[in-house]
Amino acid sequence: MSHLDIAYLPEAPAHDAEIELINEEAFGPGRFAKAAYKIREGGGHDRALSHVAVVDGQVIASVRLTPIAAGEGEALLLGPLAVRPAFKNMGIGRKLVAIALETAREAGAGVVLLVGDQPYYGPLGFEIVPQGQIRMPRPVDARRLLAAELVKGALARLQGDVLHASLVRKRDGAMLQQKRAARG
């Protein structure tokens, strides 16, 4: 099968069931215990920034981007990235990562973060996050916490606990309301 048979498309609601099956196949039930899934519990991924690979109308791979924040910085969390076994080692995952990075750049994101293998993601522009700079909500091997800095200096603004961006916005909004009420 040639790469010309593969269409790369923005994710749509109609893809949800197939994406769930691909992620179940790739990561099993243990995926829900991972740090990245804990972050996603705080709010959904950004469908407008997420993509699928399709062959003959069937989703064969997907990548999602989720808005996150830590300290004064905001970023996008890449993942899950999953490819059906019959389509592995064809460059589909790498192509989806490249599309995700370009989409993130176009959306104005300064950093894309992920938990993954440096030998795979390193050549795609990801480097190990300095140890102790950020904390995931569940244990993560520090060598697997990777970032692609799209805007110089954006990674340094990510400090402390990583949360879904919507939780940070809600927290900051509540704090602002409290300050306004106190001034009353």
Q: Can you give the pLDDT of all 184 residues of the chain as single tens digits?
A: 454 589 999 999 999 999 999 999 988 877 777 888 889 888 889 999 999 999 999 999 999 999 999 999 999 999 999 999 999 999 999 999 999 999 999 999 999 999 999 999 999 999 999 999 999 999 999 999 999 999 999 999 999 999 999 886 655 544 445 555 566 6
- The CATH class of 3-183 is alpha beta
Per-residue confidence (pLDDT) for residue 36, from 0 to 100: 82
Cβ-contact 162, 113 below 8 angstroms = yes
Per-residue confidence (pLDDT) for residue 175, from 0 to 100: 42
Specify the pairing of strand 158-164 against strand 134-135.
parallel
Per-residue confidence (pLDDT) for residue 107, from 0 to 100: 96
Specify the pairing of strand 111-115 against strand 127-128.
unpaired
Cβ-contact 112, 75 below 8 angstroms = yes
Cβ-contact 42, 164 below 8 angstroms = yes
Say whether pTM exceeds 0.75: yes
Q: Which residues pair with 54 in a beta bridge?
A: 7, 59
Domain ranges of the chain: 3-183
Distances (CA, A) of 121 to 1, 21, 118, 181: 25, 23, 5, 47
Helix (H) or strand (E) segment spanning residue 168:
helix 165-183
**Residues 63, 98: Cα–Cα separation, whole Å:** 10
Cβ atoms within 10 Å of 114's Cβ, excluding its own: 25
